Each structure stands twice: as structure tokens, then as C-alpha cells.
Structure 1
Amino acid sequence: MTEEHRTDQRPRRRRGRGLLIFVGVLLLLLLAGLVVVDRYGASYAEGVIGDKVAEQVRARKASSDTPEVDIKGVPFLTQVVRGEYQEIQIQLPNFAGPTGTGDQIHMDLLDIHAKDVRAPLDALRSGQGDVVAGTLTGTGTIDYPQLIDLIGQKGLKLAEKDGNLVGSATVAVLGQQLDLAGTAKLSVADGGIRVRFANVKATNLPDLPGIQSAIDAYAGRLGLDLPAPELPLQLKVRSVSPEKDGLRVTFGANEVNINAGGL
């Protein structure tokens, strides 16, 4: 009787294990399918947003390489259900925009972060409707060689030192070769970038009448009022600071419809 009992139980245990394995495999397949659908949906929406941003760049008579869009947050589908997205990153490589004065401002990368984004599913699917970012923040760098060209003074060198923009040059003043150096004040004025050099001094200043006045006049020629380039997404200059490779410019905007092509 004991042997008959064991014979009856073994097949049942094998069937139970087989059912558990089947259910486990099925769950894994369903999970993998959801991941694929989630990533496909995010990729499709990123492409739609990228197309709209490219339209805005062209409408500003600016240019860039193909926009790179990344909808942050996983899973994507749960954000779709809520109609709210924590962050969308938009990168515009090789961006160049006109300033309205005939100059072109080039930035290797205009990096934009849209936060607190609100959008219905249909707006992301079709490209029609509102995709509104509560806040937009962008950053880009204007390199020093470009800035020197815009200032237009030959022999000028620019660099960051102790958090300040410093300039130096060797110039002829009243028949004397002088090594000049000074610190610039950076500010945002009338929506653009203002550069003003002050306290420009010569390390080898000779004792000659009028020499400092001549140096001050040269310092005045180093000033620059640079209008902001034409930017997409209603971005405006918020701040500027010197970095190792150039001036780092921060842009910002609020309540912007990312989906408004040509805005």
C-alpha cells in the first residue's frame, strides 16, 4: 500500500512543477513584451517631438544637426496614462543661430531640459495638440576663439581664471609695446550678453604722460554687446559665466508648447 501511494504522488508533483515553470515563462514573455511596447512608444513619441523642434529651429532661420530627444522616466506607458512626463531632454548638436546683426552664434551643443511636461496621448502620437513644458532650461557654450572674432581685436586672448573672464594682449601704445591684462564684467542686458573690460593694466607700464588714458581707450574697444541668437522653444538668455572652453550661457522659458512647430 505504501508503494502504491508513492506511485500516485510523483506524477502530480511533476505536473505541479511543470505548471509553475509554464506560468513563470509566460510571465517573463509578457514582461518582455511590455518592455518592447514601452520602448517603442517612447521612441515614436521622441521622433514626433524631434520633428517639431526641428521645425522651430528652421522657423528661426537657425540650424542644427538632427535633434536628439530622450523622454526620461521608466516606464513610459505609465506617464502616458497620467498625461504627465517628468522630463524630456532635447539636444541640438552643432547649433547656429543668427543674432539679427549679421553675426552667427555657434554652439557645439544646445542642451535643453523640459520639466513638468503635460501632454495627452494623441499629441505625442500625431504631433497635433499641446505638449506643454512647465519649465525649460537650456545651456550652450560660445567658445573663446568665436568671442574674440566678435570683439574684433587682433592679438586678444581670453581665458577663465578664478571664476572670472580675463583678457590679455600685447599692443603698441604711444610707441611702446605693452603687455595688457584685465578682467571682464559679464551681464545679461536687453536679452543679450554684455562684456565690459575694466581695470586693464600693463605689467610693464612706462612712466609716460597719457599712457594710462591710451590703455583705457583700448579697453573700451574690448566691450561687446552680443544679441542672443534666434532660439527655438521661446528660450531667452538667463545668465552667462566663463568656463575653461568659453562662455557658458544658460537659457530659460516657462509654459512653452514644445509641439508648436514653427513657433
Structure 2
Amino acid sequence: MRALRIVLVIVIVLAGLFVAADRVAVNMAEDEVAKKLMTELEVPSDGDASVSIDGFPFLTQVASKDLDSVEAELSGITAEAGGRQVTLTEVKLSGSDVHLSDGYSSAVASKATGTVHISYADLSRAADEGVRVGYGGKDKSGRGQVKVTAAVTVPMVGKTLERSVYSSVTVEGGDTVRLHADKVPGSRIPGVEDAIRKKIDFDRKISQLPDGLKLKKVVTTETGIDVSISGTDVNLAG
């Protein structure tokens, strides 16, 4: 019985050491992946990235080069959008069945989903000069909409008019966010609607996301827009 107790103690101690080593290894890996994501996605120094690798034990996953799931949160990514810079305020990403290769420098998720949050301030900076984008409440159907305000010079009228319109936000082609006014005030005046729409209706193609991800749909909130993203064979690193 004494020998059995000694064996049990040894097993418990070794198990504890293995768990501790496993947790140390996963924490180091999470930090390294976060740094790599910040470099590859060109996150500025005032941005941030955090990574969580799920599944236990981690070391056996590394040995097989297959991770159960990886979750990442990033802030401050600057993307090219229609020739203008737009900051993706927050990006949340969850990848499953992640395969490692090329000496662990490459990671590809069989499937990935997430959201991209863009604030109204950042949307305004991505719009044309003098255009302000804000929350417009809900329409009659209960769908969220944005309010777009701009000063527009109408040649046929000879005046600069400030107009606010309520616009719908949609995703086009899996990589583009589109703002389109539902109705333009003063559209009966010749040239007014065309002049206003040239200013306030716009498409912005979002680049800089990991390869394999597509924009799916937009939900308008009080603080900005949430764009859902998903894809297969998504290149998380490398």
C-alpha cells in the first residue's frame, strides 16, 4: 500500500508538471501568434491583439500540427477602403480545425467566423470630404439605418445645400460595404438628387482581412456597424 501511495503521488506530481508546462507553452504560443498577426495585418503600435488557443493538451496538438480552435481579437487595423484609409475599430475572429505547417509559421483554419466593428467616426473618415455618418435609428420595419449629412454644391441651383439622409448599409460581393440613401430630400429639383447621391452614396472595399474571409452582412448599432465575416481555408498566419 505504501508503494502504491508513492506511485500515486509521483503520477499526480508529474501530471501537475505536465499541465503547468502545457499552460506555459500555450501562453507563449498565444503571445507569438498575437505578435505575428499584428505584424502581418499591420496593426499600429496603438492597436492591440490578443489570441486564445483552446483545447487540452496543447502540446499534443502542436505535435500533430492541428489545433482545435483559435480565437483572436484585434483593434486598430487600418484598411484600404476605396482609396481612403478606414480603421476597423475591432475585429473578432474564431477559427476551427487550424492546421500548422512550414515549421509552425503558417496556420490555416478549415473554417472561421467573426465580426468587424467600424465606428461612425471611422466611417465618416472613410467617406468623402465633408460627409458625416451617424446612427439613424430604426426604420418602419425595425431595421437599423445610418444618417448621412453632407454639404453639397448643386450647379443648377447655384447654392451649397446641407442635407441629411437616411441610408441603408449592405455588403456587396463579399468585400465591399455600401451606403445607399433610401430617399433624397429635394429630389424634385433638377440636379439635386444626382449631386447629393454623388456625395453621400458610396462603396468602400475592405482590404487587409486574412485571406479566405468574406464579408457577409451588416447590422447597424448605436455605436457603428457590425459586419459579420466567415470563410473556409482562412489563412490566419504565414
Q: TM-score range by the shorter chain?
A: 0.7 to 0.9
- Cα deviation for residue 83 of structure 1 reads 3.3
- Cα deviation for residue 246 of structure 1 reads 0.7
Which structure has more relative contact order (CA 8 Å, sep 6+)? It is 1
Which residue does the alignment assign to 2:170?
Answer: 186
Counterpart secondary structure, 1:229 = coil
- Cα deviation for residue 243 of structure 1 reads 2.0
Identical-residue share of aligned pairs (%): 23
Whether 1:39 and 2:20 are equivalent positions in the alignment is: no
TM-score (norm 2): 0.74
- Cα deviation for residue 42 of structure 1 reads 1.5
Mapping of 1:154-173 within 5 angstroms? 157-161=134-138, 162-167=142-147
2: distance between equivalents of 1:151 and 1:170? Answer: 9
- Cα deviation for residue 28 of structure 1 reads 2.5
Which residue does the alignment assign to 2:81?
Answer: 99
2: distance between equivalents of 1:155 and 1:36? Answer: 52
Cα deviation code 1:184-224 (max 9, x no counterpart):
2523247321110113458xxxxxx9459746753553211
Aligned-partner residue type, residue 31 of structure 1: A
Contact 1:144-1:159 at 8 Å conserved across structures: no
Which residue does the alignment assign to 2:201?
Answer: 223
Counterpart secondary structure, 1:32 = helix
- Cα deviation for residue 253 of structure 1 reads 3.6
Counterpart secondary structure, 2:112 = strand
1: distance between equivalents of 2:151 and 2:77? Answer: 34
Cα deviation code 1:1-43 (max 9, x no counterpart):
xxxxxxxxxxxxxxx4x55554443333122101111112212
RMSD: 3.6
Contact 1:166-1:184 at 8 Å conserved across structures: yes
1: distance between equivalents of 2:169 and 2:52? Answer: 36
- The 3 A distance-change label for structure 1 pair 111 and 158 is same
- The 3 A distance-change label for structure 1 pair 114 and 154 is closer
Whether 1:77 and 2:59 are equivalent positions in the alignment is: yes
Aligned-partner residue type, residue 144 of structure 2: N
Which residue does the alignment assign to 1:252?
Answer: 230
2: distance between equivalents of 1:95 and 1:32? Answer: 39
TM-score (norm 1): 0.68
Contact 2:146-2:169 at 8 Å conserved across structures: no
Aligned-partner residue type, residue 76 of structure 2: N
2: distance between equivalents of 1:118 and 1:229? Answer: 24
The 10-residue stretch of structure 1 (76-85 or 245-254) with the greater mean CA deviation from structure 2: 76-85
Whether 1:114 and 2:98 are equivalent positions in the alignment is: no
Find the partner of 1:90 among 51, 72, 81.
72
Cα deviation code 1:124-179 (max 9, x no counterpart):
3xx3xx4321123342211112223425455664334233214266989989x998
1: distance between equivalents of 2:211 and 2:167? Answer: 34
- Cα deviation for residue 53 of structure 1 reads 2.3
Contact 1:87-1:113 at 8 Å conserved across structures: yes
- Cα deviation for residue 70 of structure 1 reads 1.3
Mapping of 1:140-159 within 5 angstroms? 140-149=116-125, 150-153=127-130, 157-159=134-136
Q: Alignment length, in residue pairs? A: 228
Whether 1:197 and 2:181 are equivalent positions in the alignment is: yes
Q: Which has the higher strand share?
A: 2
- Cα deviation for residue 226 of structure 1 reads 1.0
